[in-house]
Amino acid sequence: MNIPAHAPLHLLHTAAVGTLATHARQPEGFPYPSVLPFAPDPQHRPTILVSRLAEHTHNLHADPRAGFLAVDAPDGDVLSGQRVTLLGTFEPVDSTPEVVQRYLRYHPDAERYLVLGDFTFWAMRLERLRYIGGFGAMGWLAGAELDPLPPLGFDEENALIAQFASHSGSKGEFQLLGVDRYGADVKLNGARSRFVFDDAKLKIETLHAALEDCMQRYMN
């Protein structure tokens, strides 16, 4: 195994769209892949918003085991890009104000689906994952190895985002989407990217300092 430190975690924050593979009901047992947007939750797990009428939602109700593939290949060469395949089970998530607010920061257009009333959130509980980052950089991890640190709470994250919410600078419009102990998800002029911290930030004070550095780099 030769995986760069925290590479699978950062990839799950870089990709905006993933492939969900559920177990088909008809014909029974076949893999049923679907492409859909997702957002990482505070534990970096894919959170999806799906219609109750969708085939993959029916499949998850019958068998919650699934695979999920996220890819980052900005030049279109998927074999040289990064990809991670997650194995686990999807579980429904209550549409609390915190969950809705966080998902809409990543996918604001999803608000029109929430208004319809038949869309629900699901999050993946990881069992194992396989990361491939190019030739010689690949390997398996147990789900618990993705991040052994306690996640930021919604209140902690929201307080940081309130301080660094939206700004305009010489490079354009900046928005902070999400914060965790390893990095920040940002949007600059509509383009999403990941700002990786130099190390894990265990205290709010060090997170605040890292976000100030993030702002300096994106705004100046």
pLDDT score for 75: 80
58-73 exposure pattern, b = at least 16 Cβ within 10 A, e = fewer: bbbeeebebbbbbbbe
Separation CA 150–CA 54 (nearest Å): 34
CA distances from 122 to 27, 50, 90, 125 (A): 24, 8, 6, 10
| Residue range(s) in the chain whose domain bears CATH number 2.30.110.10 | 7-145
Instruction: Count how many Cα atoms sit within 13 Å of the Cα of residue 73 in the half-sphere of its side chain.
Output: 15
Q: Kindly indicate the confidence band of residue 67, based on its pLDDT and cuts at 50, 70 and 90.
A: very high
Residue 67 pairs in a beta bridge with: 21, 87
Is pLDDT above 60 for 137?
yes
pLDDT score, position 164: 82
> Which band of pLDDT confidence, cut at 50, 70 and 90, is reported for residue 219?
confident
Of 193, 89, 96, give the one whose Cα is nearest residue 153: 96
Are 44 and 180 in contact, with CB atoms under 8 Å apart?
yes
Report the mean per-residue pLDDT for the chain: 92
What pLDDT shows up at residue 169?
59
Sign of the torsion formed by the C-alpha atoms of 40, 46, 47 and 51: positive
Please list the residue range(s) of the chain that carry CATH number 3.20.180.10. Answer: 154-219
pLDDT at 53: 95
Q: Does domain 154-219 have CATH number 3.40.50.200?
A: no
Q: Taking Cα atoms as reference points, which of 18, 21, 39 lies closest to residue 31?
A: 21
pLDDT band at 122 (very low <50, low <70, confident <90, very high): very high
Task: Tell me what pLDDT residue 166 has.
Answer: 60
Structure tokens at 85: 């395949």
What pLDDT band is residue 36 in, cutting at 50, 70 and 90? very high
Q: Distances from the Cα of 131 to the Cαs of 3, 71, 146, 202, in angstroms? A: 7, 10, 11, 25
Share of the chain above pLDDT 70, in %: 96
d(CA 62, CA 2): 36
Contact between 47 and 90 under an 8 Å Cβ cutoff? The reply is no
- Cα-Cα end-to-end distance for the chain: 39
pLDDT on residue 145: 94
162 has pLDDT over 60: yes
pLDDT in tens, 8-35: 999 999 999 999 999 999 999 899 999 9
pLDDT tens for 185-210 read 999 888 999 999 999 999 999 999 99
Rounded Cα gap, residues 91 and 110, in angstroms:
20
CATH ID of 7-145, from 2.30.110.10, 3.30.530.20, 3.40.50.300, 3.30.2310.20: 2.30.110.10
pLDDT at residue 171, rounded to an integer: 65
CA distances (Å), origin 198, targets 55, 100, 160, 182, 184: 42, 30, 18, 8, 12
pLDDT band of 69, cuts 50, 70, 90: very high
C-alpha to C-alpha distance for 43 and 71, rounded to whole angstroms: 19
Residue pair 13/151 in contact by the 8 Å Cβ criterion:
no
Model confidence at 87: pLDDT above 90: yes
